[in-house]
Amino acid sequence: MAQTAATALPSTVPTPSRAAMAALVGGLLAGAQDLLGASIVYKVPMVRVMRTVASGLIGRDAAKTGGMTESMIGLGLHLGISVVAAGVYVAASRRWPVLTRLPMALLTGALFGAAMFVVMNGIVVPLSNAVPPHFNPIPASFDWVSKPLKALDFLSNVLFGVVIATVASLMLRRPRD
């Protein structure tokens, strides 16, 4: 029986399907951790966190008065963003294998999570329907003295990146160069 190119590869070389699975698993686990983290940090039920995420698409008023449908929209959006973020990390790790080598992956994952916090709070959320007009996201997102919960939210995002990097490391193991 002849081997195809896909079956001839050793299991230590990430294939596109292994990379996609790493992005999917990493994104879903990191997204779940992030939802739980936000619920704990802000002391609100997860359905409220999910409606807050949905407000970026459907607006604050609709999300505030919404129910399970709006929560599921938020859950889908949040997990979708998480899987895409994990996909970006996995794609970068194919170019730079050091991103999936433990223990370095823990550091790069933490940096990735910090970068995600900046991108989400500094760009994505301000451009969404979640915030009132003329809202300045920089002081609100990075004022950790008067808003210590933001510092905890930041740490939860750092953990988000660590989860993605750890899953990628475990699922895309390759021999050292």
DSSP state of 123: I
Q: How far apart are CA 112 and CA 93, in angstroms?
A: 12
**Quick one: pLDDT band at residue 177, thresholds 50, 70, 90?**
very low
Query: Mean pLDDT over all residues of the chain?
Result: 82
Chain centroid, CA 138 distance in Å: 20
pLDDT in tens, 88-123: 999 999 889 888 888 888 999 999 999 999 898 888
pLDDT at position 92: 93
pTM of the model: 0.80
**Residue 160 identity (one-letter amino acid):** F
Q: How far apart are CA 135 and CA 145, in angstroms?
A: 19
**Quick one: pLDDT band at residue 149, thresholds 50, 70, 90?**
confident
**Quick one: pLDDT band at residue 85, thresholds 50, 70, 90?**
very high
pLDDT at position 128: 82
Q: How far apart are CA 90 and CA 26, in angstroms?
A: 9
Helices H / strands E in the chain, number of each: 9, 0
**Quick one: pLDDT band at residue 143, thresholds 50, 70, 90?**
low
pLDDT in tens, 14-69: 556 888 999 999 999 999 999 999 899 888 889 888 988 888 888 888 777 888 88
| Crossing angle for the helix pair 16-42 and 68-95, to the nearest 10 degrees | 130
Structure tokens at 116: 């995600």
Q: How far apart are CA 159 and CA 111, in angstroms?
A: 10
